[in-house]
């Protein structure tokens, strides 16, 4: 009984923390997950891990792909005409993820 109570208390304490630390899952995450994974660990050879990368760097990289100053057709096609707000949300999401050991990312 005591264990259950402690577990329940732990959960109650953890929930608000999760809600505030982790940004909301971006609506457009599906556009990116095939290559970068939902949590920013690359799913295909040649794609970079994004988990835990600096927010300002991710934001700038996405803007550079979109306006073509970083001209990688693959990423330009993936981003398409996604809005600033969406790019910002994606950058925040990936930046907030915790990088995992490589073994976990390569099944």
* Shortest Å distance, C-beta 13 to ligand HEC: 32
Q: Which 54-93 positions form the footprint of ligand HEC (CB under 6 A)? A: 58, 61-62, 70, 72, 74-75, 78-79, 90
* Shortest Å distance, C-beta 5 to ligand HEC: 42
Nearer to ligand HEC, 6 or 83 (CB): 83
Query: Measured between alpha carbons, how far is 84 from 59 in angstroms, rounded to an integer?
Result: 9
Contacts of 27 (CB under 8 A, 6+ apart): 86, 89
* 51 within 8 A of 97, measured Cβ to Cβ: yes
**Residue whose Cβ sits closest to ligand HEC:** 32
Q: Return the residue matching tokens 């990116």.
A: 32
Nearer to ligand HEC, 28 or 39 (CB): 28
User: Which residue from 36, 48, 43 is spatially nearest to 93, judged by alpha carbons?
Assistant: 36
Query: Measured between alpha carbons, how far is 25 from 89 in angstroms, rounded to an integer?
Result: 8
Contacts with ligand HEC by CB under 6 A lie at 28, 31-32, 34-36, 46-48, 50, 58, 61-62, 70, 72, 74-75, 78-79, 90
């Amino acid at each position: 009984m005591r264990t259950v109570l402690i577990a329940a208390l732990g959960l109650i304490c953890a929930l608000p923390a999760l809600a505030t630390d982790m940004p909301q899952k971006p609506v457009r995450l599906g556009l990116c997950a095939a290559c970068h994974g939902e949590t920013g660990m690359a799913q295909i050879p040649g794609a970079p891990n994004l988990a835990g990368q600096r927010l300002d760097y991710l934001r700038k990289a996405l803007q550079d792909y979109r306006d073509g100053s970083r001209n990688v057709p693959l990423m330009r096609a993936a981003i398409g005409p996604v809005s600033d707000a969406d790019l910002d949300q994606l950058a925040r999401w990936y930046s907030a993820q915790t990088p995992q050991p490589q073994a976990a990312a390569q099944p």
